[in-house]
Each structure stands twice: as C-alpha cells, then as structure tokens.
Structure 1
Amino acid sequence: MATSVAAPASTREKPRLSFWQIWNMSFGFLGIQFGFALQNANVSRIFETLGGTEIALYWLAAPLTGMLVQPIIGYMSDRTWSPKWGRRRPFFLVGAVLASFALLVMPNVTALWMAVGMLWIMDSSINISMEPFRALVGDLLPASQRTTGFAAQTFFIGIGAVVASSLPWMFTNWFDVPNTAPAGEIPPSVKYAFYIGGIVFFLAVLWTVIRTREYPPENLAEFEEEKRRTSGFLNGIRESFAGIAHMPKTMSQLAIVQFFSWLALFSMWIYTTPAVTSHIYHTSDATSKLYNEGADWVGICFAVYNGVSAIAALLLPAIARATSRRVTHLICLTAGGLGLISIYFIQDPNMLLLSMVGVGIAWASILSVPYAMLAGALPANKMGYYMGVFNFFIVIPQVVAGLILGFFTKTVFHGESVYTLVLGGCSMIIAGLLTLRVNDTDDIRLPEEQPTLDNPAYDSPMQTNPRV
C-alpha cells in the first residue's frame, strides 16, 4: 500500500514526514542516478569506440534539449492534478518508461550519429523524471525538513551511482564478461551494465510512484481556473524563458555558482576517460586491452566519488550547523576542485581514488545545498516551474563546455585532456568563492520556532521518526 500523506491545512503548515515517508519519496532517485551514472561514465567511451573525435560537441545534443524539457515539465507539473496519480508522479512514470527504453537501446547502436541521437533521447527522458523529484521536496516537506529531503535524494544518488558506475568492471572481474570488442563495437560488459540500468531505473521510480501520495491543491476550483488560463505547451515555453528575467534574487546569485560548478562537472564527465587513459595508462587506442582497463577504472573512480557523496550528504547538516550553508558549500567545492587538479600529478591509478574523495564531497553539496537554499526563496505554486528554470544553469555550462572545452583541449592544451580537468578544478573553486555572495535568508539564524539547517532544531535524515 502507498504511504498516505494527509493534506495540510495550508501550504505554510505542512506536517513533518517520517523517516520512511522521506525514504519512499526519494527512492526513485536510485534509478535516476543509475541512468545518469551509466551515461556519464560510458558515453564518451562509446563515442570513442565508434570513431568519434569531437567528444565535447557530441555531448551538446542532451543539454540543448534539456533546456526546453526541464522548465516545460516543471511548468506542466505545477498545473497537473489527478486524485489517483497526483501532480509530479505522472511525469516520474512517463520519464522512467522512456529512459529505460533508451538505456536498453544505447549499447546496441552501430553508428556515431545513432549514439548522439540516443544520448539526446536518454538525457531528455531522465530529466523528465528527475525535475519533478526536486519539486516534490518543496511540495511535501516543511521548511525544516527540506534539506533533509534533498540530502536523502543525494544519498540515493550516491548509492545508485556507486553500483551503476562499477557495473562494467564488476561484469569483467567477477563474471569474466569481456570488456573489449572488435573495432566499432561496444564491449559486452558495457552492454550488460546498460541492461541492468534500464531495469533498475524503471523499478526504483515505480516504487516512489506507488508508495508516495501528494497533497491536493488547497482550492481546487482556483487551481482549475488557473490551469485553464495558463496551461499549454506554448505557454510553458514562453513562461520558461520569461522566468529568467523574473528570478528571485537568491536564484540569480545561485545561478552563477551553478554555472561554474557544473562547468567543472562536465569537464570531468567528458574528459576523465581520455585523460586517464592517455595521461596514466598512456594509450588512446580504444580497441586495446590497456585502454579498456583504464576506462573501466574510470567507472570505479566515479563509483568512489558517488559513494563518498552518499556519506557526505549525511554529514552536511552538522557542518552547516557549525558554520552556515554558504561556508559549507565553499568548503565542499574547494575539496572537489583540489581533487580534480590533483589528477595532473598522479601516475598510479589507485591514487585517483583519493582525488575522487574530494570530488565526492563537492558532489554531495552540489546536489543538495543549492536546492535547499533555493526552495525557501520560491513561491509554492511555482515550485516545479522555477526548479525547471534553475536547470538552465546546469544546461548552459554544459553547452559552454561543448563549445569551448574541445577548443581548449585541442588547441590550447595540445590534446592533453588532463589539463581540461585542471581547468575544471579551478572553475569549481571559483564557484565555492561565489557562494559567499548568495543571499540565503534561511542561513541566518532564526528564532527557535523557525528551525532551519543552521538551527539546532534542524533534523538530519537519521534523526527523523522511523514510523510510517
């Protein structure tokens, strides 16, 4: 049976949810991160296997679509209500079906153009599921539990990514599945990893859909009238771009932080495989055993940083109580930046795991702290819409990464991908410094009756009541 949630008297008086209610509403992120982790750790490898050389440009297919998909999905979900399915859950389910299909197809592509097109479909579908999950935290949780909700999501993101990123290595080392293939073919270990990912994605999201209930609109008649006046795909597009001009101050300040944070992340996701294989394994031959050993080890490295993020997510509230959310984000991003920069100085593949510890600390903060700061600055009836618009500042750095990182790598760095990772590390540290400029009202210590992340009354995921 689904975990029911009684409707609150008003949006200002949402009841506190139990540990297991927060667990159930966040569990779908386990599957979502299976998809993202497989994509991030293996798509550049697939491009190189199929003969691609302009890797950063190929990655542009996904964010350009995401720039439209995310805010429109948020806009539409704000205006959706079904007594049976709720507001956000229909989008969870549709996105899960499409993303699972894309994950099953991706490792079977036979041409570069097919891989680029499937990345576009896969990334868009994953985002259809993901963005309403962010809004769900704002919908269901009171202010004192929102960072708990985002931290719980980050925990599942970490666990999902640890397993998904390790799958090709596991298949090869535990089950003797080959990790090499003839030129132009995807190795069997990668294929099986994507198959598992497609199944887990669907089942995890389905768990949240079945086990979570949403609050109905406070005034259904007003909701239906507003929906009648403002619904529609074209309205979604127009309002999405208009939203950039009317962002709350906190959101505009966080946008700059997000730009530099995600520019660093995309430099890592796009160039870690070529950087590690060439700088540490000293090969660029995608058909060689040594190259594929290096590519598999990148998956393990990505698993490590995601595992660290799952643990760090549980520690963030304590750090923030001792300092502030802004200082917490600065510390975490600095650790991540130093982790990326350190790869330049490494020759032993095992030492990369230490670099990934710093990246994992940053990743935990990136996935929770900005959203916790943002949620308190957004109107409740536009939570999904503004969370979608906020995605622009993930998409824009990915577009910039696709346009300029290839130039820097080939022309400025003379093909040495490891320097691109150093550039990403510097970008992440800049993002941390810019966090100190963010006007986060919830970071100001408020009276006891208004618990926040900085207030001792703030609860961590492990402190919630474990009753359903």
Structure 2
Amino acid sequence: MKIRKPELSFWQIWNMNVGFLGIQYSFGLQQSAINPIFLFLGAKEEILPILNIAGPVTGLIVQPLIGAISDKTWSAKWGRRKPFFLIGAVLGSLCLFAFPLSPALWFAVGLLWILDVGNNMAMEPYRAFVGDKLPDKQLSMGYQMQSLFVGAGILLANASIFLFQDWFGGGQEVEGTIPKWLYYSFFIGSFLSVATILWSVLKTPEIPPSDEELKEINKHKALPFIERFKMPFIEISQAVKEMPKFMWKLSAVYLFQWYALFIYWQFITPLFKATMGYDTSEAAAQAAKMSTTYNIVTAVVALILVPLTVRYGGKKIYALSLFGTALALFAIPHISDPVYVLIPMVLFGIGWAAMMGIPYSMVSKIVPQERRGVYMGILNMMIVIPMGIQTLTFGSIFKNLLGANSVNAILFAGVFFAIASILAMRLNVSKEENSG
C-alpha cells in the first residue's frame, strides 16, 4: 500500500534542503579551485581531464550502491537516508580541510578521490530523501529548491575564491605551492559541509516505511552477510533491466550535457590564460567570477522554473535551457573584456538551474517508491559515465584534434550542449510509455 504523504510548507521544504548548501559548496570548489590547485602543483593542461577521473569513478560505484543499500535500511532513531549523507559530509569535511595543505600533486589527486567518495555518499541519498518526503504535486518545488541551494552553495564557494584573493592575495606565484589566500575557502567549506547537513538532519524527520516495506527490510536483514553483500549489485542490475524508457532517453541527453560541462569546468581557467593573458591566479579568479555569476542566476530563477514547467512542460523548459547554455559557450571565447564576458553566464545559470532540478522531478514521478534510492543512483551513473568518457578521451581530442587550444575546447562543449537540447525534446513523462 502506497503511503500517503502530507504536503509540506515552504519552510519545511527549505529546511529539508539546507544540507545541499554544504554539499554544493564543496562541489563549487571542485569546479573552480581543484584544477587551479593541480596547475599550481605542476600539472600540465593536457592531463587535467585524467586527473579528474576520481569524480566519474567514485560516482559510478558509490552512488548506486549507497542508493540500493539505503532502500533496504531503516532505523527508528536515525532513519533511512540520513546516516549516509551525514557520514559523507564528515568525510568531505576532513578532505576539504586538508586539501589546500597538499604538499605535492599526487597528494591532492588522492584527496580528490576521498572527497568524491564523501560527496557522492551524501549526494545520492539526499536526492532520494526529497522524493521520499514529498507528494508528487510538490516534487518540482522540492527539486527546484535543491537547485536553489546548488546555486547558492557554488556561489558562496566561488565568491570566496576571488574575494579572498583580492583581500589576502598579491605577490608572485611560487611554482609547486598553493597560495595562502586559497586556504580560507576550503576551511569554510569544511565547516559548512557538516553544519548544513546537521541542520537538515535535525529539522526534518523521515517518513517511516509502510508495513510491506518494513517486512521487506527485515527480511533483507535476516539474510546471511554474503547474501546482503550481493543484494545491492543484484538490485542495481534488476533496476537497469526494468528501467523506464524515459531514463534511457535521458541518458542520451546526459551523455552530451555532462561531457560538455566537464570540459567547461576543466578549461575555463586555461581559456582566460590564453585569451586575456592572465597568470593562473588571475585566470582562476576570473573563472570563479563566471561561476559566481551563473550561480547567482541559478539561485534567483530556480523556483521561477516551477510554474513555468507546470505551464509549458518540463521537456520544453529543459531543452530551451540547454540551448541557451550552448549559446553562452559559443559567446564566451569571443569576449575579451572581463566584465562583459560575465553576460553569457545569465543563460548558463538558467541552464544550470534546469539541469539540477527538472530531470530529477521528472524521474522521481515515474520510478517506484521502494526503489527510488537505486534509481537515483542509476541517474547519477548517467552523469558520471559521460564524465568518465570525457576524462579518458578529451585529453587526446584536445591535443590532437583541437590543437591544444582552450578556445576550441569551450566551443566544442557548446556544440555538445546544442546536441543535448535537441535530444531533450524526445523526453516524455508518460507512465504508460515508461513502464519497465
């Protein structure tokens, strides 16, 4: 029997999503500060993609496994999803504190692996947590509220980078060392990672499982350890076989969308070194301003997208937003003024708000409640597989086909966003069409 979920107030949905602020602050540092740190520690531009392979690999393994395990978890004291994103937040917090103290490139790369495990452990159950709590009519609000905190978290992370450089920077770059001004952003992230998650954990009770779900959970607990160990892998395999057609179509959109996003995050700093003649610190600060701008837009428009998707449909708003992101990337390399180049970030911010909210609300409506965790994990696999492909292939494409030119890299990403927008027009949320 399906549990009837009560509607939540605006502030209850707000409190439920506050923890995403800390997770996304960490993600913002990964977007704008990790690759500059690699460059500070001596990495060559052409190896940046492979140095970022931690994200795709850990996301591919951790998120679906945690999703499947949390589906079969319940504690009257701790709940179902909360233990996982709390442990992930603590792990991420420790890594963020240690990151700017990295003495060498290999140490920073190793920390990125651990940080990604923590972030992925927190991210997936959080997506399922929102779906668990909200009735179908409030799912768009819930996931767009997450999108708002995505924008706010990344905004704070990136604003801290260029503000701290302005306040505490200056002086000549020393090869092989990380500037002291960059430390403060990571220390703040270390605090926010735990503090915001604790806010949501303490403010939001989870809905207990139904009698049928509880019976299934207890049956799972009674299995021998080896059977319980194998069960998440079996769950993932079965869920993929029975996956709604909508998710297969979405995977094609995600292939181009996330491949392009990873190119942007890796090559926006090298782009400003090439087009504006900046050193690494100046280019990193300009990249942070770009990210700050588009995340301000994301935070502002995230909830505005809710009535628009209701009126015009999620598919149309999503596709149009992706096309706008493509236009932004086509424009950026041709603007040399550090202020005017922020203008395309308005389109990028609208696109980012749509990407972080609309697909999750669409998927959450068509997957079964008792398997929401594993399907949210599979949705993340559709993100990290394109990222993994990008890290393995784009270094060679950048060097051999694009002339090791960061301008061409950003334009290449724009083409992929345009393709993603066309493929998004094939998305239809119909329970009859999407039945497994």
Question: Which residue of 2 is the match for residue 21 of structure 1?
Answer: 12
Does the C-alpha gap of structure 1 residues 238 and 189 become closer, same or farther in structure 2, counting only changes over 3 Å? farther
Tell me, yes or no, if the aligned pair for 2:147 and 2:299 is still in contact at 8 Å: yes
Matches within 5 A, 1:274-285: 274-279=270-275, 281-283=276-278
Q: Going by fraction, where is helix more abundant, 1 or 2?
A: 2
Residue number in structure 1 paired with 2:422: 433
- Report what 2:412 is aligned to: 423
- Residue 133 (structure 2) aligns with: 140
| Within-5 A mapping of 1:38-437 | 38-53=29-44, 54-173=47-166, 175-178=167-170, 181-219=173-211, 220-229=214-223, 232-279=228-275, 281-283=276-278, 290-437=279-426
| Deviation sequence 1:264-293 (CA, Å, 0-9, x none) | 1111111111112212x225xxxxxx4311
> SS of the counterpart of 1:85?
coil
Pick closer, same or farther for the CA change 1:252–1:168 going to 2, 3 Å. Answer: same
**Structure 2 CA distance for aligned equivalents of residues 443 and 31 of structure 1:** 38
- In structure 2, how many angstroms separate the alpha carbons of the residues matched to 1:67 and 1:143? 27
1:75 maps to a residue whose letter is A
Pairwise CA distance, 1:180: 5.5
- Structure-2 change in CA distance of 1:391 and 1:273 (3 Å): same
Q: Is the 8 A contact 2:3 2:210 kept in 1?
A: no
Q: 2: distance between equivalents of 1:11 and 1:190? A: 49
Q: What CA distance in whole angstroms lies between the structure 2 residues aligned with 1:241 and 1:43? A: 34
Which residue of 18, 28, 31 corresponds with 2:22? 31
Question: Shift of residue 443 of structure 1?
Answer: 13
8 Å contact from structure 1 (residues 262, 394) kept in 2: yes
- CA shift, 1:323, in A, is 1.6
Task: Tell me how far apart the structure 1 counterparts of residues 309 and 59 of structure 2 sit (CA, whole Å).
Answer: 31
Amino acid in the other structure paired with 2:257: S
Q: Which has the larger displacement, 239-248 or 121-130?
A: 239-248
Per-residue deviation, 1:321 = 3.1
In structure 2, how many angstroms separate the alpha carbons of the residues matched to 1:207 and 1:424? 37
Retained in 2: the 8 A contact 1:138–1:375? yes
Normalised to the residue count of structure 2, the TM-score between the two structures is 0.94
Structure 2 Cα separation of the partners of residues 237 and 351 of structure 1: 49
Distance 1:112 1:34 in 2: 22
Task: Give the superposition deviation at 1:418.
Answer: 1.8
- Percent identity over paired residues: 38
Q: 1:341 to 1:196 in 2, by over 3 A?
A: same
In 1, distance between residues paired with 2:346 and 2:395? Answer: 27
What do the CA deviations read for 1:282-326 (whole angstroms, capped 9, x no partner)? Answer: 25xxxxxx4311211111111111111111211112322332110
Aligned length: 427
Q: Secondary structure at the match of 1:314?
A: coil
In 2, Cα distance between equivalents of 1:225 and 1:365: 39
Judged with a 3 Å threshold, the aligned counterparts in structure 2 of structure 1 residues 49 and 176 are, in CA distance, closer, same or farther, namely: closer
The 1-side partners of 2:259 and 2:289 are apart by 22
In 2, the alpha carbon distance for the partners of 1:363 and 1:77 equals 28
Shift of 1:229: 4.5
User: What SS does the corresponding residue of 1:80 show, helix, strand or coil?
Assistant: coil
Q: Assess, with a 3 A threshold, how the Cα gap between structure 1 residues 442 and 278 changes in structure 2: closer, same or farther.
A: farther
Amino acid at match of 1:271: F
Structure 1 unaligned regions, length at least 5: 1-9, 284-289, 445-468
Rounded Cα–Cα distance in structure 2 between residues aligned with 1:83 and 1:302 = 41
